[in-house]
Structure formats: C-alpha cells, structure tokens
C-alpha cells in the first residue's frame, strides 16, 4: 500500500509538471481568444455555469483520450471558456452593452459570423475566426433579456469544428448547424 501511494505521488508530480509547462502558454494573445471576464456574472444569479479549461488540462485530456475521435476533438484547442447565467430586467441593459462591445470587437477583427439571429428580446451569434485557412476561434453568444445569457469561446491553433461537437460542453444545440459548414 505504501508503494502504491509513492507511485501515485510520483505520477501526480509528473502530471503537475506537464500541466504547469503547458499552462505557461498565454492564450489571451491568440487571435481566437475573447475575454469573457468582461461579462460579470451577477451575484443575484441563482443558476450559473462558469467553465474555464486552459492549455494544460486540454493537453492532458488529449493525451489520455481513448480513441482517435476524442483526440481529434481536443487537438489544436488551447482554451475553452463557457459562461451561462440568469439575468433579469435590472441588469439586462448592462449585460447587453458588454455583449454588443464583444460583437463590435469581433466585427472589427474580421471574425466570420455563421449564424446571427436578432429579434426584440434575443440575440444569438455564432462566429468563427479564421487565420490562414485555419479556424482559430469559435464564439457563441446567446442572450435573452428575460432569462439567460450564454457565452462560449473556444480558441486554439487549429480547431476542427466538425469534431468539436464530441466535446459535449453545451454545443449540442449548435452541432447540426456546424455540420453544414465545411471547414
């Protein structure tokens, strides 16, 4: 038992070393990165999802993935960030202002919008950033003034959009739309 404990400690130390080496990559400098921290989750929100997976953990996941489709799903992805939370009329204007700033930013930086829906109370926007023929960013925005805001940003060196649906982190609603595009 003592030997198993020692081996476990050694394995954890090796994994931690690999994670810290991979984690030094500054994803904020990548063209597909969008800073979602500008969108503040209200303290009053009862239902909140806040996911942040960086290069170290994604590299580890890719290495331990059991089959090639799982490996392909994570290959080239360096960051996954998802924020989803409830809003009400008291803060919806502030959140909408921040979302519009992000949309202006991606338009200025020549992101390609592949889905855009805007009506009285809702905005849905799915955009990709392509550099030299490679998809390096995916941004999903879903905003409903009377309910919920969801933002997701995936960035990396080369994102395979046809494989991203295998990640299963809230993209199920959009996977059929992504299949229609040949990237």
pLDDT interval class at 162 (50, 70, 90) = confident
When mean pLDDT is compared across 16-20, 94-98, 106-110, 129-133, the lowest value belongs to 16-20
Rounded mean pLDDT of 15-20? 48
For the stretch 83-102, pLDDT in tens is 999 988 878 888 989 999 99
- Alpha carbons 56 and 20: distance in angstroms, whole number: 7
When mean pLDDT is compared across 56-65, 87-96, 132-141, the lowest value belongs to 56-65
- Return the higher-pLDDT residue of 171 and 74: 74
- Looking at the chain, the whole-number percentage of residues with pLDDT higher than 70 is 70
pLDDT of residue 109 exceeding 70, the answer is: yes
Q: Three-class SS of residue 142? A: strand
pLDDT interval class at 18 (50, 70, 90) = very low
Query: What strands, in cross-sheet order, belong to the sheet with 148-156?
Result: 48-53, 77-86, 148-156, 134-144, 122-131, 112-118
- Return the higher-pLDDT residue of 182 and 96: 96
Give the pTM: 0.77
pLDDT of residue 45 exceeding 90, the answer is: no
- Alpha carbons 72 and 69: distance in angstroms, whole number: 5
Among positive and negative, which fits the CA dihedral 25, 133, 172, 96? Answer: positive
- pLDDT for 139 equals 97
Kind plus residue range of the DSSP H or E element containing 126: strand 122-131
- pLDDT for 121 equals 85
């Amino acid at each position: 038992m003592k030997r198993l404990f020692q081996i476990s400690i050694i394995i954890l130390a090796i994994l931690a070393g690999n994670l810290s080496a991979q984690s030094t990559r500054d994803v904020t400098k990548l063209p597909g990165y969008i800073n979602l921290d500008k969108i503040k989750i209200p303290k009053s929100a009862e239902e909140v999802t806040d996911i942040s997976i960086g290069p170290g953990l994604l590299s580890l996941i890719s290495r331990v993935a059991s089959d090639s489709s799982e490996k392909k799903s994570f290959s080239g992805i360096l960051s996954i960030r998802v924020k989803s939370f409830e809003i009400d009329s008291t803060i919806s204007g502030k959140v909408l202002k921040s979302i519009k700033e992000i949309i202006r930013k991606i338009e200025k930086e020549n992101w390609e919008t592949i889905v855009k829906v805007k009506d009285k109370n809702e905005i849905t926007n799915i955009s990709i950033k392509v550099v030299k023929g490679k998809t390096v960013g995916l941004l999903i925005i879903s905003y409903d003034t009377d309910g919920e805001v969801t933002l997701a940003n995936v960035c990396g060196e080369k994102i395979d959009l046809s494989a991203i649906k295998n990640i299963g982190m809230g993209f199920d609603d959009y996977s059929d739309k992504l299949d229609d595009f040949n990237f």
